[in-house]
Amino acid sequence: MRAVQLLPLFLLVSAISCSTPQAQVDPSQPQPPKTTLEVRNQKPLDFTMYVVDGTHRLRLGLVPGMSTRTFTIPHHLVNDRGSLRFQADTIGSEAVLTTDEELAVRPGDSVSLTLR
């Protein structure tokens, strides 16, 4: 009986300890411009989109078959000298599509990719 009573407390403490503190936003500092990736999926398959920065791969989200989605590229990956690759992994298949070359992406850019 005592274990059942302690379970909610344990779950609450676990959830609190896993949370990360939120960074304080300085209102006097201008926000960096939003950098976006628009993906037009002309295939019937669903894809998971990633942005690749060197050896680091970050998931952006899902693009269902025959649809278009727009993602925001995180600010920490975009800088004035940076270049990125984009990767599309099919869901339920081994196929992976990657941009052949690194693309120069600057803060505020809008990148558009079409999956054919």
Average pLDDT estimate for 51-65: 93
Residue 25's φ and ψ, nearest 5 degrees, are -95, 125
Contacts of 48 (CB under 8 A, 6+ apart): 59, 61, 62, 63, 88, 89, 91
SS3 percent helix, strand, coil of the chain, rounded to 5, is 15, 40, 40
Question: What whole-number distance in Å separates Cα of residue 58 and Cα of residue 77?
Answer: 10
User: 90 lies in a domain?
Assistant: yes
User: 96 lies in a domain?
Assistant: yes
> 103 forms bridges with which residues in the sheet?
84
Question: What whole-number distance in Å separates Cα of residue 107 and Cα of residue 78?
Answer: 6
Q: What is the dihedral of CA 55, 59, 60, 62, to 10 degrees?
A: 140
Q: Provide the domain count of the chain.
A: 1
CATH number reported for the structural domain that contains residue 71 in this entry: 2.60.40.2890
pTM: 0.72
User: 102 lies in a domain?
Assistant: yes
Question: What whole-number distance in Å separates Cα of residue 114 and Cα of residue 68?
Answer: 9
User: 76 lies in a domain?
Assistant: yes
Q: pLDDT, tens digit, for every residue of 8-56?
A: 655 555 555 555 555 666 778 888 899 999 999 999 999 999 999 888 8
Q: Which domain holds residue 45?
A: 33-115
User: 26 lies in a domain?
Assistant: no
